[in-house]
Amino acid sequence: MKFSYYPGCSLERNARSYHQSTMAIAEPLGLEFDEVEDWNCCGATEYFAINKIPAYALVSRNLALAAGQNGSRELVAPCSACYINLKKTDHALAESPELRSKIDQALEAGDLAYQPGSLNVQHLLETIVKEVGYEAVEEQVTKPLYNLRVAPYYGCMVPRPSAMESFDDPEHPMSMDKLFETLGAIVVDFPLKAQCCGGHMTQISEETALEMIRRLLKNADDYGADMIATVCPMCQLNMDAYQDAVNQHFGTDYNIPVVYFTQLIGLAFGISPKELGFGSELISADAALAKVTEEPPKEKRRRRVKKNAGLPMPVMPEEG
């Protein structure tokens, strides 16, 4: 399956490992990425807050380039902010003709043009879960991540892409949870997996950002997570780089590595940690990775109804 690929600036610098691991797992997943030539920055979360029209123009240029490359109709963006901006722009152009006419003028200056709706913008997680599918992923698993307790962290943009439809439940997403179960890991279903990591709040009011990051770390820690896996370079940065700032500020001693979900997929496919960019994270993941065992954890025997075991829980649909 061929996809147009929009890496975005973070994947070339602080999120290098995200790019490396994505490229590493592409071949086993049967994904062929051809990068959008001469793409430019997507304005992340800041530019739209400052000035809408040039922000839309900036992103439209990427859409025009991708569409012009007449590769596949699917445009994949691993980073949540890029994904949101590309999807939001395509949607806005289709919705409002005046915006469209202004953007067309801007694009003409670089003799480009873009017909809204001609691209299907997808986040990398969506592509793996929907286009590749859990079975195809499971087939490639050679070294299951048995005994590793992973907290899947979605952030707020992927589950809730503003006005548009999300590919997963906006309040309680489960697609990455199922993905990690397929990889053999123990999935920690922690409640704040779709709450905001603060985004660029670290630049505007660090104290607020630190409180938001503390809540995520505390929640993951309360649920006994060995590590947090995320889908967005900014979330990774906030939880990884600011972890010791949180510890100093609140007198806590969290030591939870924050990695990319593609790195864990790579591990389960037997690819070496180095090749997947492990080591670039500030809070080292080595200790957590050491916990991975060869055999699966002992299967708890589901005894029949235990005596005074309290009241039965309602059966959830998938299990039931």
CA trace torsion 72, 76, 82, 88 (10° rounding): 60
Residue 224 lies near another protein (rule: CB under 8 A): no
DSSP E strand stretches across 163-277: 186-187, 227-230, 258-260
Strand partners, 149: 186
Q: Which is nearer to another protein, 88 or 160 (CB)?
A: 160
- Please report whether residue 316 would count as binding another protein according to CB under 8 A: yes
Scanning 5-13, 15-23, 152-160, 190-198 for contacts with another protein by CB under 8 A, the matching segment is 190-198
Is position 279 an interface residue for another protein (rule: CB under 8 A)? Answer: no
Distance CA(122)–CA(134), nearest Å, equals: 17
Residue ranges with strand state E in 145-285 = 149-153, 186-187, 227-230, 258-260
Among 215, 250, 280, 282, binds another protein (CB under 8 A): 215
Q: Which of 194, 231, 181, 221 is nearest to 80 (CA)?
A: 231
**Taking CB under 8 A as the rule, does residue 189 contact another protein?**
yes
**By C-beta, is 295 or 319 nearer to another protein?**
319
CB 226 within 8 A of CB 149: yes
251 binds another protein (CB under 8 A): no
Q: How far is the CB of 219 from another protein (least distance, A)?
A: 5
305 near another protein (CB under 8 A): yes
Q: Which of 191, 224, 270, 279 forms a contact with another protein (CB under 8 A)?
A: 191
**Residue of the chain from 38, 98, 294, 310 that contacts another protein (CB under 8 A):** 310
For residue 309, state whether it binds another protein (rule: CB under 8 A). yes
- Residue 309 CB, shortest distance to another protein, in Å, is 8
For the chain, the residue count is: 320
Instruction: Select 50 or 316, whichever has its Cβ closest to another protein.
Output: 316
Q: Point out which residues pair with 260 in neighbouring strands.
A: 230
Query: Which residue from 70, 299, 300, 317 is in contact with another protein, where contact means CB under 8 A?
Result: 317
The residues, any chain, with a CB within 8 Å of residue 56's CB and separated by 6 or more, are 89, 92, 93, 99, 103
C-alpha triplet 197, 150, 205: angle, nearest 5°: 15
Q: Which of 111, 302, 303, 313 binds another protein (CB under 8 A)?
A: 313
From the list 178, 106, 186, the residue with the least C-alpha distance to 146 is 186
CB 154 → another protein: shortest distance, Å?
A: 13
Question: Is the distance from CB of 251 to CB of 244 less than 8 angstroms?
Answer: no
Q: Which of 182, 219, 243, 263 lies at the binding interface for another protein (CB under 8 A)?
A: 219
What is the per-residue burial (b if ≥16 Cβ within 10 Å, else e) of 231-270?
Answer: bbbbbbbbbbbbbeebbeeeeeebebbbbbbbbbbbbbbe
Least distance to another protein, CB of residue 160, Å: 12
Rounded least distance, CB 223 to another protein, Å = 9
Of 84, 148, 192, 229, the residue at the interface with another protein (CB under 8 A) is: 192
Question: Which spans of this chain sit near another protein (rule: CB under 8 A)?
Answer: 169, 171-172, 189-192, 195, 215, 218-219, 222, 305, 308-317
